Structure 1
Amino acid sequence: MFTGEEIAIYLEELEEKIQAINDNVLLLEREGGSPEVIQEIFRAAHTIKGSSAVMGYEKITSLTHEIENLFDLLRQGKMEVSENLVNVLFEALDALKLLKDEITGAGGGVDVSAVIEKLRSCRAGCGAGEPDAAPAGGELPPAPAADELPAGGSAYRFELELEEAVEEVVREAEVRGFQAYQVDIGIDRGCQMKGVRAFLIFETLQQAGEIIKSVPPAEDLQEGRYGEGFTVVLLTREDAGQVRDLVFSIAEVSSVEVRPIKLRSGEQPAAREAAGQQARKEANASPGRENIKTVRVDVQKLDNLMNLVGELVIDRTRLDRFVEVFESRYGSDDLVENIVEISNHLGQVTGDLQEEIMKARMLPVAHVFNRLPRMVRDLAHKLGKEIDFIIEGRETELDRNVIEVISDPLIHLLRNAVDHGIEPPEERVRLGKPRAGRLLLKAAYVESQIVITLSDDGRGMDPEKIRQRAVEKGLLTPEQAARAGEREVLDLIFAPGFSTASSVSDISGRGVGMDIVRNQIEQINGSVEFTTTPGRGTTFTIKLPLTLAIIRALMVTLGDHVYAFPLTNVLETLTFKPGEIQRVRHAEVVVVRGQVLPLVRLAHLFQEKSREEGRLSVVVLGSGDKKVGVVVDRLIGEQEIVIKSLGGYLGQVPGLSGATILGDGKVALIVDARAIVKETGVEDAALEMSRAG
């Protein structure tokens, strides 16, 4: 049996290799039969097959074995890349994902026989017969029969011949400073669990390096189908003696012989030379594996660390406040200076610790982006469109909690771009555009935010069409539609139930999507905006916070209490004389630069007693296409705060999203700015005022 940690490591590698195959099959479809791409897919499939065989996942082993068979033919030039082949490969990838879910318990009963038959049909279509029984897709030589192995008691030894593909891997490894060894391992004749013994040897050797080949193949070793021993090819930086000692540390090993592998002399083919040059570049950029040391950490531990750092940030703020009071009371002497020095150093260390923990929680946005090219490709094929999908900034990192949220909004935006935005090839040619539409997805850091942009060069949005559709769906009256400005009309795409699609399909036109996009992004204190030009395309811009645990906020007072407004929702602050406020029906409004701004009083929202004196302080909040002014007693200033949940005892309190602890130990409540803005629409207030006038 395998431990939970071993299964987790296997699943992580499986996910990585499936993604690698997916990315390279997309390249294969776009660029044709590139030898490098074919080799990458072959290696990824071989890795999955070997590790799955050791773990005992037979369906994955069988499926990747068939993928290997196909790519072995492609490598040999006996088969050409075709549209049918690519479609079958993507179907096989989908089956692999389902098999992975089956392991985790998220699915079950996956039947891969139909996909395997399709893979075999592709191979048969090129005139190739059935491959050898050895499940290495032609890469490994036949395993030695039991009667070819030495009798018990004598050392096991096997004369190994390396094929070109394995030699290429060895050459690349040597450039990186690795030594290749042939390790012949003899097993006691009386060994009762030969499969387990082979697995232990594999696990032990992989602590010292990487096994790139075994004879017999890993599947046979896992099942114990070998005679008195077996042979592996090991890439390692350890010397032969250390490798030998490692293997001998395992029970029931009768003999170990470690021999350096000497490659055949001769001029390397061009492809091999190119691979060697690339390996040398990587070797120069990265001195070696010993410099890349990582430890797997459970996500919950990172969350706990972040909470502890949050507590430190709170205490650091309290200590800063204490130092200010101490200095004001006792002036400047040695004791005060020591306390100030300690406070400053603690603040610096806490800040550094906070930054490092935040970095540990960050993941490259590639975790989301890498899944999207396949989706775009499938949609384009289904709709008969040609799309050049470009992704930039995959290395940009986001907090893992933010990454979990943005996947669905991006999928909605991409589906709309492919379905509504990009025109069919014939229409684009008629309009003087390239046949293939251009779709650009880009992520980048801008100040203290992550900005994701998605732009297309398609139809763009027609405000008049949206205006007409809004009237048809009852979102606007004809009078409201005639009075509404272009920006206000365009922002109707975020209204629940709005769609310009003339018919409902499984891709779009069901009246859901864009409102979900905005809501999900705003729930993590982000924002989404867009620009569009009819006939030229549309660009969506998503702004996201680096983390959800610690934010910048505008602090205000109301009565005896302090409240915090997240800066992502604060547009500006204003002051007014009480006489400047007007009433429209039962609502208070004020005119700002010629535009009507609805007002709400924080005292009324939370039933507090206000201490308004003289001029009124107003915090202007914005969310989506709406904004509102919130009247408070006094503005304190910006501050970094740690968000704390109100807990299960209080639950969800209308108008509040959490709390934080201030430097003096008091609690400040964090205002739910989005909820407040949602209740008061600036368009409605403007309409009411125009009617009253």
Structure 2
Amino acid sequence: MRVVFSSEEVAVFMEELEEKLQVISDNLLLMEREGASPEVIQEIFRAAHTIKGSSAIMGYEKMSTLTHEIENLFDRLRRGEMGVTGEMVDVLFNALDTLKALKDEITGQAEGVDIEPVMERLRWCQEACSGGAPAGRAGAAEAPGAVSPSPAPAAAAAPGALQPPVLEEAVEEVVREAEVRGFAAYWVDIGIDRDCQMKGVRAFLIFETLQQIGEIIKSEPPAEDLQEGRYDAGFSLLLLTKEDAWQVRDLVLSIAEVTAVEVQPVRPRAEERAEERTAARTAAVEKREGPTPAKEAPAAAGRMSEVKTVRVDVQKLDTLMNLVGELVIDRTRLDRFVEVFESRYGSGELVESLVEISSHLGHVTNALQEEIMKARMLPVAHIFNRLPRMVRDLAHKMGKEVEFIIEGKETELDRNVIEVIGDPLIHLLRNAIDHGIEPPEERVRLGKPRAGRIVLKAAYVEGQIVITLSDDGRGMDAEKIRQRAVARGMMTPEQAARATEREILELIFTPGFSTAEVVSDVSGRGVGMDIVRNQIEQINGSVEFTTVPGKGTTFTIKLPLTLAIIRALMVTLGDQVYAFPLINVVETLAVRPEEIRRVRHVEVIVLRGQVLPLLRLANLFNEKSKAEGGKLSVVVLGVGEKKVGVVVDQLLGEQEVVIKSLGSYLGQVPGLSGATILGDGSVALIVDARSLVKEAGVEEAAQELSRAS
């Protein structure tokens, strides 16, 4: 059966491959940490088996060969013929890395991947670990016979659960001859996911898999229809094999997108007639006493609830989000029109109808916006699942023991946000392992557990996604950072002595700053921290941290749910309306002119004992203020620990706005991050809070006033 694969089918294969590689990685980590349980071994075996079959069909021979060797090793493990050792786990991780390299080879990101070295190590493991269960990091394997590849032979469908068709005389003759030679005949009913993208390929893979253990002599629908994918939710096969029914079922279930398998022995009609009386008696008993447990086997066979999904190109989702943004704008404009209409014409049937239409459109637009946002969301597991392996490898490399705990993997984020947070999380984890977690001997001496503890958690908090990363390591020593800042010429001894502890700790976000004594490929806490903050703030997020010397450090990352639509505080300056992202707005103030002081070239006020630098929006954008005498309206913006007050003409209130790019013609405008369209059709400019807070001279003036006071 020759199959030609389209680009879409290759994409489906790659998606399935990524999923199975993640299954292997997760379970290898579990096996190393908790030992070789039958469930873990079976999960890895099934994933390797699926990759082997799929890659063989697609023509990727090196991948098929390597996974076949991995499958052999786990087949012996599950039969109890060998034990798991730390060396074996290392070899298996090496094999996993080679599979990932082969995946990159398929996509053109790598070439010339040699699988022979890892193949030799896998064979060596099977020879070295046979016949016992040597001690190792992963612990010993179960005793022979304790690891079973399936729940039990009874998990196959009980006789009578299926209704095999009446066999033609020629087929019956083949079955009788096969029984004489020691073969059993099974009618195998296979359920396939209705959303399967490659139905013909999936059927071919099942044929190829079953023909490794026997011979298929009949199928419904016929093989030609199966080859073309012309079947609904599954198909049936007549298989001759020497394997048991439960082994057949287990083998087919290891194939991706198989939702259910039922296996029933088939006998020629002559034998069936001889058993009719026994079957009748059994039916009578069941009628009186209810179905036997065997009758419930199809449920145990793993039949899954039907899930209906459709693959959608990401670009289409982006386009839909833009169109929803336009609807949000028009809804706002309609609301404004309704207000004008009511004020001008008062109440009446026409006005009430218009209000009703506006209200209904608002509800529909909100619901549509919410659903499109959900369609763009991905669970943070998409990023989090990659991290345990990295933590494991770094800990081993540095001779440290780390217990890595992940919580809230089901929390969902906009796909554009997820693409950004990967690198910052990697930086934070590398720093926590390298400079935060102490070596085991030091931890024991300090009265701590040998293994350091790192907890990564994601959760929804007040309309934001909050990710926390905490460790129970050394924490940050402000005095050590102070000394290093002076030694590197970043501060004079006098400046360092006057700086507060918080100001010193904030130096970790200075580019190039590090407290590491020795430069290595794994940085100390501080190197790369400027990258962490910059990348998070670029998507309107924030990074904060707390630390206690000797106890540990916690970083908190706050992120918006989406980058396309935000809530903003609307203000005016002259005839222009500006929008401040609400995530950066700390508070609003009314300030009397006499409260303002000037330090060097910067205006400041004292707010609750703290110095707050002021910026006038009119000066930044060369606008003419129309504010009248009296108190000034001030918007306090915060990014991290830094704050600044921005003087505006008038506060209008909060509003949901759709972010629009300024376009290639205007490009990057200092102080602005985009624009939005208001209800009256005019354009409001979205202020870049980060650039205002970091306006040159603000921090220095604030520090000078703090010292003077």
Measured against the shorter chain, the TM-score band is 0.7 to 0.9
Q: CA distance change for structure 1 residues 260 and 52 in 2, over 3 Å: closer, same or farther?
A: closer
1:402 aligns with 2:405: no
SS at match of 2:206: strand
Cross-structure match for 2:673: 657
2:216 to 231, 235, 241: 231
Q: Distance in 2 between matches of 1:309 and 1:283?
A: 43
Q: Which ranges in structure 2 are unaligned for 5 or more consecutive residues?
A: 132-146, 171-195, 254-259, 262-292
1:455 aligns with 2:470: yes
The Cα shift of 1:497 comes to: 1.3
The Cα shift of 1:282 comes to: 13
- The answer as to whether partners of 2:45 and 2:75 remain within 8 angstroms in 1 is yes
TM (norm. structure 2) is 0.80
Structure 2 counterparts to residues 238-387 of structure 1, below 5 A: 246-247=225-226, 258-259=237-238, 288-290=304-306, 292-387=307-402
- The answer as to whether partners of 1:180 and 1:260 remain within 8 angstroms in 2 is no
Cross-structure match for 1:117: 120
The Cα shift of 1:509 comes to: 3.9
The Cα shift of 1:260 comes to: 8.7
SS at match of 1:349: helix
Cross-structure match for 2:211: 216
- The answer as to whether partners of 2:406 and 2:457 remain within 8 angstroms in 1 is yes
- Structure 1 stretches of 4+ with a deviation exceeding 3 A read 164-175, 177-184, 201-213, 215-218, 240-251, 256-266, 280-284, 286-289, 680-683, 690-693
The Cα shift of 1:241 comes to: 5.2
Cross-structure match for 1:472: 487
1:617 aligns with 2:612: no
The Cα shift of 1:603 comes to: 0.7
Q: CA distance change for structure 1 residues 652 and 232 in 2, over 3 Å: closer, same or farther?
A: farther
Cross-structure match for 2:63: 60
SS at match of 2:209: strand
The Cα shift of 1:124 comes to: 2.4
- The answer as to whether partners of 1:393 and 1:444 remain within 8 angstroms in 2 is yes
Q: Could you say what the CA RMSD is over the residues aligned between the two structures, in angstroms?
A: 3.6
Structure 2 counterparts to residues 25-174 of structure 1, below 5 A: 25-127=28-130
Q: CA distance change for structure 1 residues 4 and 168 in 2, over 3 Å: closer, same or farther?
A: farther
Cross-structure match for 1:419: 434
Cross-structure match for 1:22: 25
The Cα shift of 1:97 comes to: 0.9
Question: Once structures 1 and 2 are overlaid, which stretch shifts more, 240-249 or 632-641?
Answer: 240-249
The Cα shift of 1:511 comes to: 5.9
Q: What amino acid is the match of 2:655? A: Q
Cross-structure match for 2:695: 679
SS at match of 2:518: coil
- The answer as to whether partners of 2:78 and 2:148 remain within 8 angstroms in 1 is no
Cross-structure match for 1:635: 651
- The answer as to whether partners of 1:181 and 1:260 remain within 8 angstroms in 2 is no
TM (norm. structure 1) is 0.82
SS at match of 1:211: helix
Q: Distance in 1 between matches of 2:165 and 2:696?
A: 75
- The answer as to whether partners of 1:183 and 1:232 remain within 8 angstroms in 2 is no
The Cα shift of 1:437 comes to: 0.9
Cross-structure match for 2:554: 539
Structure 2 counterparts to residues 478-627 of structure 1, below 5 A: 478-509=493-524, 512-613=527-628, 614-627=630-643
Q: What amino acid is the match of 2:645? A: G
Report sequence identity in percent: 70
- The answer as to whether partners of 1:314 and 1:662 remain within 8 angstroms in 2 is yes
Q: Distance in 2 between matches of 1:313 and 1:173?
A: 55
The Cα shift of 1:392 comes to: 0.6
SS at match of 1:214: helix
- The answer as to whether partners of 2:200 and 2:227 remain within 8 angstroms in 1 is no
- The answer as to whether partners of 1:597 and 1:685 remain within 8 angstroms in 2 is no
Q: CA distance change for structure 1 residues 174 and 304 in 2, over 3 Å: closer, same or farther?
A: farther
- The answer as to whether partners of 2:152 and 2:246 remain within 8 angstroms in 1 is no
Q: CA distance change for structure 1 residues 558 and 183 in 2, over 3 Å: closer, same or farther?
A: farther
Q: Distance in 2 between matches of 1:260 and 1:112?
A: 35
Q: Distance in 2 between matches of 1:446 and 1:634?
A: 30
Q: Distance in 2 between matches of 1:171 and 1:180?
A: 18
Q: CA distance change for structure 1 residues 174 and 532 in 2, over 3 Å: closer, same or farther?
A: farther
SS at match of 1:654: coil
Q: CA distance change for structure 1 residues 651 and 489 in 2, over 3 Å: closer, same or farther?
A: same
Q: Distance in 2 between matches of 1:230 and 1:328?
A: 82
SS at match of 2:545: strand
Cross-structure match for 2:179: none
Q: CA distance change for structure 1 residues 362 and 210 in 2, over 3 Å: closer, same or farther?
A: farther
SS at match of 1:644: coil
Q: How many residues align?
A: 614
Q: What amino acid is the match of 2:442? A: E
Deviations, residues 586-639 of structure 1 (Å, cap 9, x unaligned): 221111112211111111111111112121111111112321111110010111
The Cα shift of 1:288 comes to: 3.8
Q: Distance in 2 between matches of 1:310 and 1:124?
A: 63
Q: Distance in 2 between matches of 1:264 and 1:654?
A: 71
Q: What amino acid is the match of 2:700? A: D
Q: CA distance change for structure 1 residues 85 and 579 in 2, over 3 Å: closer, same or farther?
A: same
